[in-house]
Amino acid sequence: MEQSQRHRIILSARTRNEMADLQEGKVAQVTTDELNQADQAFAGNRLLSTFTKEARALIEPFGTMVELNAGDHVLERGEHVRASLFPIGPTMITMVVELGAGRSIEVASIGKGGAVGGIVSCGHAPAFSRADVLVGGSAFKVPMDALEDAKKRSPFIANLFCRYSDYLLSTVMQSVACNAFHSIPERAARWLLYVQDRAGDRIELTQEALAALLGVQRTTVNAVIKDLSSEGLIATSRGTVRILDRAGLKRRSCECYQRLRDHYSAVIGVLGSGGGTC
């Protein structure tokens, strides 16, 4: 009886140890997964990739990876911004201004080189434009409170976001000039190059969606796409545009594409302080 009881005690202790080992392994696995996601975020977004170890520690504990689907609305006009989204890899979000009679036009596209939502404001503020997911994928979501605190505690983060604000304003100003003076084929070529930089050669996009982004009629876009296809610059299939000749597309594009690339390099670059290459 005494031996049987001792045997049960030994088994109970072993079971507890095994359970503890399993729990530790589970915790370790979760921690590893979280670290892998954080590494993916800070490597896959060009703003986050400039962060020093100390700057990263200020926002990483508060951020979460989220998956966005094409067509998702991440912000509505007038909505109070509660978090910022840093697109990762090919993910793209388009900022759209809505006008009367159901009309709308894109004013900025934001991919892995930037962030959406409150990044240029000081604290909570209502959104001026609608933000829609153009190309689905991952994004790193950081609450505004954590981001504002990080800006106060880190001159590097505050300076980086000021520089990004400058770049974002430049894209809007360039868009105004582009829409006023450049032809629709030039604008379409510029837009396709911009998306290719972020999403790759294969772009999932309908001609109807492209027409809405450019603020023109679908029939106009159909003619432009047909011309670009006949020149061997792109190929299209249902809901997809594939870039075939990037150099040729750059020749068809207006000057705005390269000007904005150069400005991003000048104000942000690879280190977050400008002067670096794109």
Residue 51 shares a structural domain with residue 172:
yes
Q: Model's pTM, two decimal places?
A: 0.82
pLDDT at residue 5 in the model: 44
CA–CA gap between residue 260 and residue 174 (Å, rounded): 8
CA–CA gap between residue 89 and residue 94 (Å, rounded): 15
pLDDT at residue 36 in the model: 81
Query: Residue 199 domain-assigned?
Result: yes
pLDDT at residue 34 in the model: 57
Q: Which domain holds residue 204?
A: 183-252
Mean pLDDT by runs of 10 across the 278 residues of the chain is: 42 41 40 69 94 95 95 91 93 90 85 87 77 93 94 95 93 91 95 90 87 89 95 92 96 95 94 75
In this structure, what CATH number is given to the domain that contains residue 239?
1.10.10.10
Query: Residue 143 domain-assigned?
Result: yes
Using the 8-state DSSP alphabet, how is residue 143 labeled? E
Query: Residue 94 domain-assigned?
Result: yes
In three-state secondary structure terms, 130 is strand
The label of the residue with tokens 């670290």 reads 35
pLDDT at residue 213 in the model: 83
How confident is the model over 8-25, as pLDDT tens digits?
433 344 444 443 443 444
pLDDT at residue 28 in the model: 39
Domain count along the chain: 2
In three-state secondary structure terms, 74 is strand
pLDDT at residue 174 in the model: 93
How confident is the model over 139-178, as pLDDT tens digits?
999 999 999 999 999 999 999 999 999 999 999 899 899 9
Query: Residue 211 domain-assigned?
Result: yes
pLDDT at residue 123 in the model: 62
pLDDT at residue 56 in the model: 95
Query: Residue 13 domain-assigned?
Result: no
CA distances (Å), origin 215, targets 92, 163, 169 = 19, 29, 20
Residue 209 shares a structural domain with residue 173:
no
